[in-house]
């Protein structure tokens, strides 16, 4: 299982939020490229980027920082990016810039036809981010709850041909309160595409709990605040995940 460092971008800086609240941003670095290099040096095999301003505005707002990160890691590891992606031109531009996977969230829920078109136009490069609280999906940077059930939408988007589903428990994100293994596992068992866990990962125990059910289809875990504040040692976490994945 991949342990995937998150780099959340706000006003060109690397930050972390608590439960998606833009007014509760903690700045961890003013140099996104250097932060990407830091995680690469520690053994990261993928990076997860979020354009927080873009998620709220509905259009890219941190393209300079995104480019700096892609340039810093080159073609050494894949980079996945979400936040404010609402049209095919934006997807094409990001892929041309070197992003490996584009994550569609709000637009997938509000305009599923767009997601369908994106999967057709850019096969193998489209992921869906489903941000949920109590099994219901939130949109617009988590500011609005919908009546959509996570499982129902995930199954629908799987049929469109998405590469993976990223499941975030927004009640736990940035809170270091522990990952919601049960909800992630329920989703993974219902799908054939990979599921990536996100939200609330606090320590190695969370990593072990996810690794224990990796075989159900959970291929990655995104972690942010825990690795920045030191409650989770990233390099050790990846080693633990690798040991689980190697029966020998």
Q: Which H/E stretch holds residue 28?
A: strand 26-29
Pair of tokens at residue 114:
């767009």
First to last CA, the chain: 16
Rounded to the nearest 5 degrees, what angle is found at the Cα of 78, between the Cα atoms of 44 and 230? 25
Task: Give the active site residue among 51, 75, 97, 131.
Answer: 131
Give how far the C-alpha of residue 32 lies from the chain's centroid of Cα atoms, to the nearest Å.
17
8 belongs to the catalytic site: yes
- List of long-range contacts for 201-206, beta carbons under 8 Å, 24+ apart: 201/226, 201/232, 202/176, 202/177, 202/178, 202/226, 202/231, 202/232, 203/231, 203/232, 204/232, 204/233, 204/236, 204/237, 204/240, 206/178, 206/179, 206/181, 206/232
**Catalytic residue (one of 8, 169, 173, 206):** 8
The Cα 37–Cα 66 span in angstroms is 13
Q: Say if CB 150 and CB 108 are below 8 A apart.
A: no
> Catalytic amino acids?
8, 131
């Amino acid at each position: 299982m991949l342990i995937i460092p998150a780099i959340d971008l706000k006003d060109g800086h690397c930050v972390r939020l608590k439960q998606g609240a833009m007014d509760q941003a903690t700045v961890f670095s003013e140099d996104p490229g250097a932060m990407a290099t830091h995680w690469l040096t520690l053994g990261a095999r993928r990076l997860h980027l979020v354009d927080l301003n873009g998620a709220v505005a509905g259009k890219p707002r941190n393209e300079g920082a995104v480019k700096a990160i892609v340039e810093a890691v080159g073609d050494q590891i894949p980079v996945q990016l979400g936040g404010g992606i609402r049209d095919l031109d934006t997807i094409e531009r990001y892929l041309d810039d070197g992003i490996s996977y584009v994550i569609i969230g709000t637009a997938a829920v509000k305009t599923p036809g767009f997601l369908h078109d994106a999967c057709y136009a850019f096969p193998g490069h489209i992921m869906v981010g489903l941000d949920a609280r109590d099994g219901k999906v939130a949109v617009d940077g988590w500011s609005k709850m919908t009546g959509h059930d996570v499982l129902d939408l995930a199954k629908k988007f799987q049929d469109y041909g998405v590469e993976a589903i990223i499941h975030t428990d927004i009640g736990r994100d940035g809170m270091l309160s522990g990952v919601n293994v049960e909800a992630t596992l329920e989703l993974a068992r219902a799908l054939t595409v990979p599921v990536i866990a996100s939200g609330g990962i606090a320590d190695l125990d969370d990593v072990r709990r996810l690794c224990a059910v990796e075989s159900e289809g959970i291929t990655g875990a995104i972690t942010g605040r825990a690795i920045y504040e030191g409650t989770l040692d990233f390099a050790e976490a990846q080693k633990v995940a690798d040991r689980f994945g190697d029966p020998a």
